[in-house]
A and B are shown apart, each in its own frame.
Chain A
Amino acid sequence: MLELTYKRKRSVFHDSSAFFKLTWLFSIIIISIVFEHPIILSILFLSSLSMAIISKIFSEWKNVMKLVIFFTPFVFLFNIVVNANGRTVLWQLDYIIPVFGILNVTLEQLAFSLTMVIRLAAILGVFAVLNLTADPDDLLAAVTKLKLPYRSVVVTSLSTKFIPTLFSDLNNIHEAQRSRGVDFSNGTLRERVKKHGAVFFPLLSKGLDRSVQIAESMETRGFGRYKNRSFYKDIKISSSDLIMIIVSLAPLILSIYMISQGIGSFRFYQSMDPLIKTNSEAFYIVSILFVHILLLPLLKIKGMVTYD
């Protein structure tokens, strides 16, 4: 079952400042958007994997990552269909499809698709770690302190809070319809799609009812009354958090420097670049890896200081 809501657990990452979690997320998201380099994207993915392990949420995180596996065939298929580039042709359709053109599979297409899957995994993974380890109320406090619009954060955190409810609604609708004779396991593909489609309207209706109720409840408790809000629990940044924030931003700073110097770019078409082009590129990539690895002993030390 897909679980994307925060649950309190005793782990050093859970107990870290919301500011650190946000800077870590921000750094990874920006780097994964600006770079297409497979090694850099893999480092980012490994960073979210290691955080999932040390914050003891691996099994929930793994369930979220199953979504990536679900999307993988679509990513490959999409690239093969819409993109005919690449020199190393592995397979080609014998004739040209009118209007559409050549249909082929190239090594470059496959490498590009795989890299996009890694990018997707890195982004989804880091969001999953944040959602599962950060108390939405702490995030709200942090975002407001950063002068960002708190209303959007509340809406985002509420939408993740209701994901399990949505799945439970879906299950209940399936059960109600099955008990009236809708057999979801039988029929042609078209019939099955139609049956599953019939689940959509009750689900939408339930979701809308629920969102109206939540909105009413928030409105009657003064939500949005003033531009600012006060905080019952103030979030503070300890010196250890400050170090963590600086370390988590370091890869981003390195990346900005790399871009300005034209380092770290990666071309897939027509022929693929080598994974490491120059010594300086290798140096910077290893530096990014090092800084992400550095976060782990730092968290360990922070944990020892906090819990002992």
Chain B
Amino acid sequence: MIEFNDFSFYYPNSNMPALDKINVTVEEGEFLLVTGPSGGGKSTFLRAINGIVPNFYGGKIGGEVIVKGKNASKTSTNKMSEIVGMVFQDPENQLVTSQVEREVAFGMENLCFPKYLMNKRVEEALDAVNISNLRERSISELSGGQKQKVAISSALATHPDILLLDEPTSELDPGSAEGVLNVIEKINDELGLTILLVEHRLERVMHHVDRMLMIDGGKLIYDGSPRKIKSEYVKNWKVGLPPVTRLSLKFEDKIRNNGMPLTVKEARLSLKKVLSNPKKKISWEKKESTGKICLSMENIFFSYDSQKDVLKNISLNVYEGDMIAIMGKNASGKTTLVKLMNGLVKQRRGKVLLFGKKINEHTLSELIQKVGIVFQDPNLHLFNDTVEEEVSFVLRNLNVSEDLIAKKVEEILKKFKIYDYRKSYPHDLSGGQRQRVAIASVLVSEPEILILDEPTRGMDYYLKKELISYLKEKSKTAIMVTHDIETAAEFADRVVLLSEGKIVSDGNKRDVLSNALLFSPQINRLIQPYSKYGISDDSLTVEEVLEVTL
């Protein structure tokens, strides 16, 4: 179905190959996961299959990609659309019409399908992803997960042989992401489509796929079943394997029969002996907030349009030394809550006190020394000419001496592995690098309270680890808005769970994340049946389980 023969690709004005002599054959009906660190070449790989690379971006190629007998690089993308459908990362930026069924029909209209056939296909495509009930709805009224399902449905309607999905769940909360992935698996199972899915949050997808490709530095470094991975292969992988798989790799000599476990259920069976015979019994410390109150919110109500409250009756104290993860579904009010914490928006009712003083009574310079905030989208932060200027910007606003600025900037750039790019224009960097520059540009001033809104989105495993260790070492009080349960389990001491503008749970992470239906880490779900053997039922991370089993 798809053949990469010695395929290489260089983006315009680049001497480094984005893809370097790739040789892969994909059979009809296969479900492939394409993964790798950010900037490693996985999205470029996908785009070579429908000819976006090089036809849309330009650049140099070597070798060829043959898709159903057609040379993809020499065929226009809109012609390739007859056999290859594609779904992108951001649901906002791929839908072009105003209504669901029209969106589903858009591709067929471009390909001049007759009306009777469009009627039939729209019906089928909506059914295939279970969104027939949304048919008449306006696109702007849909949630992120629903929009992604519309995009998938729209790609399916033209009956492509191949479906490419480029991180389709990265903007979604865990529940919506699961819904979208189940739909993708169903399409592969029931319609027999060849599917290539790019994803770096492997715990969500690894168990669904037949085969996994790992691309790093433009090279294919693994091609095989995800169940056949071994610790010697994964040593240098910069992606986060599912925690249950990471744990299982430590006991690989004890795993037999079905290969490496990829889900909680599989790991429960494979690691039965290990988990039912813990070497130690440890009750994990539940760290309580002990410092002084640095931020206090009392009965806060907030509304953007003075009609519907986005936050309802929020009361929350942040104590010095707190490491808080704020979690919740999309549109539950998480970002609004943190914007209130540094006075970017003003509450409709209630009181926000920052270090005992009303937040609006602080000057801007006081505010930025007390609360630093890094937003989700790094592009919003970057407006200076070089990375160095970007990172030193806030220090200059605080009138820090030039010597100290130089020292602090160098230290943080090295820590985030962007020192080599210090003279580069920030917008020329890759997405992951831009995100690190944005984080560094706020972290450098060491604010009393540091707020990060989805900082790990698009970050590979090692960068996440680096960020967490840096936050633990350098930040005084940190608040992280995240969908990433595993990151929350590793980073936080306290978890605040929001739902529809209300705090539904606020407490020690072990109390909030243990035994939770939606927001529970894999490891916690894994060890529940074995708690009777002595493993603490509020264990959350691989490292904790290793501590009692090794």
Query: Is B a genuine binding partner of A?
Result: yes
Q: Does A278 sit at the interface, judged by CB under 8 A?
A: no
How large, as a class, is the contact surface on chain B?
Answer: 35 or more
Instruction: Name which residue of chain B comes closest to A234, CB basis.
Output: B115
* Tally of A-B Cβ pairs under 8 angstroms: 167
Chain A 1-29 per-residue mask, 1 if CB under 8 angstroms from chain B, else 0 = 00001111000000000000000000000
Given contacts A175-B344, A223-B110, contact A213 B78 (CB under 8 A): no
Within 8 A of A (CB), among B328-351: 339, 342, 344
Q: Which B residues lie within 8 Å of A169 (CB)?
A: 380
Q: Could you tell me the distance between the alpha carbons of A67 and B342 in the complex, rounded to whole angstroms? A: 32
Residues in chain A near residue B52, CB distance under 8 A: 216, 219-220
Min C-beta distance of B359 to chain A, whole Å? 13
User: Which of chain B's residues have a CB closer than 8 A to the CB of A209?
Assistant: 379
Asked whether B375 is an interface residue with its Cβ less than 8 Å from the other chain, the reply is yes
What string of 1s and 0s marks CB contacts (under 8 Å) between A175-195 and chain B? Answer: 111111111000000000000
Whole-angstrom distance between the alpha carbons of A178 and B98 in the complex? 34
How many angstroms from the CA of A182 to the CA of B368 in the assembled complex? 10
> Which of B81, B367, B383 is A222 in contact with, Cβ under 8 Å?
B81
Cα(A217)–Cα(B398), bound, Å: 44
Q: Tell me the A154-175 residues at the B interface (CB within 8 Å).
A: 154, 158, 161, 165, 169, 172-173, 175
Known contacts A220-B50, A220-B77; is-contact A226 B112 (Cβ 8 Å): yes
Which of B29-37, B101-109, B286-294 contacts its partner? B101-109
Docked-complex contact A172 and B112, CB < 8 angstroms? no
**When the two chains form their complex, are residues B111 and A180 in contact, meaning their CB atoms are under 8 A apart?**
no
Give the distance in Å from the alpha carbon of A158 to the alpha carbon of B84 in the complex: 24
Asked whether B96 lies within 8 Å of A202 as measured between CB atoms, the reply is: no
Cross-interface CB contact of A205 among B86, B88, B106, B379, cutoff 8 Å: B379
Residue of B whose beta carbon sits closest to that of A158? B96
Q: Is B313 on the interface with A (CB-CB < 8 A)?
A: no
- B283 on interface, CB distance cutoff 8 Å: no
Which residue of B94, B368, B371, B381 is within 8 Å of A214 (Cβ)?
A: B94
Docked-complex contact B158 and A232, CB < 8 angstroms: no
Which of these, A7, A179, A228, contacts B372 with CB under 8 Å? A179
Question: A197's closest neighbor in chain B, by CB?
Answer: B383
Which A residues lie within 8 Å of B393 (CB)?
180-181
- Given A213-B88, A222-B78, A233-B102, are A181 and B394 also a contact pair (CB < 8 Å)? yes
Closest partner residue, chain A, to B393 (CB atom): A180
Closest Cβ of chain B to A109, distance in Å, is 41
Partner of A179, one of B105, B114, B118, B344: B344
In the complex, how many residues of chain A place their beta carbon closer than 8 angstroms to a beta carbon of chain B? 52
Q: Which residues of A contact B119 (CB under 8 A)?
A: 232
CA distance A205 to B381 in the complex (A): 11
Inside 8 A of A33's CB, which chain B residues have their CB? none
Q: Are B381 and A176 closer than 8 Å at their CB atoms? A: yes
Beta-carbon nearest neighbor of B139 in chain A: A161
Q: Is the CB of A198 within 8 A of B110?
A: no
Q: Are B107 and A230 in contact (CB under 8 A)?
A: no
Min Cβ gap B442→A in Å is 7
B364 in the interface (beta carbon within 8 A)? yes
Residue in contact with A225 in the complex, picked from B85, B111, B373, CB distance below 8 Å: B111
Query: CA separation between A232 and B99, bound complex, in Å?
Result: 12
Interchain CB contact (< 8 A) of B112 among A173, A183, A206, A228: A228
A137 within 8 A of B: yes
Q: Which residues of B contact A158 (CB under 8 A)?
A: 96
Which residue among A178, A219, A232 has the maximum number of chain B CB atoms within 10 Å of its CB? A232
Residue B79 is within 8 A (CB to CB) of chain A in the complex? yes
List, sorted by A's number, 30 A–B pairs whose CB atoms are closer than 8 Å: A5-B140, A8-B138, A137-B102, A154-B96, A158-B96, A175-B339, A175-B375, A176-B375, A178-B344, A179-B442, A181-B368, A202-B381, A206-B377, A216-B86, A217-B94, A218-B96, A220-B81, A220-B86, A222-B78, A222-B79, A222-B107, A225-B110, A229-B109, A229-B112, A230-B113, A230-B114, A232-B105, A232-B115, A232-B122, A234-B115
9 shortest interchain CB distances as A-B pairs:
A181-B397, A232-B105, A217-B94, A221-B107, A222-B110, A222-B81, A213-B93, A176-B380, A225-B78
Chain B interface (Cβ < 8 Å from any Cβ of A): 50, 52, 56, 76-82, 84-86, 88, 90, 92-99, 101-102, 105-115, 118-119, 122, 138, 140, 154-155, 158, 339, 342, 344, 364-365, 367-368, 371-373, 375, 377, 379-383, 393-394, 397-398, 427, 441-442
Interface residues of A (CB under 8 A from B): 5-8, 135-137, 154, 158, 161, 165, 169, 172-173, 175-183, 198-199, 201-202, 205-206, 209-210, 213-226, 228-234
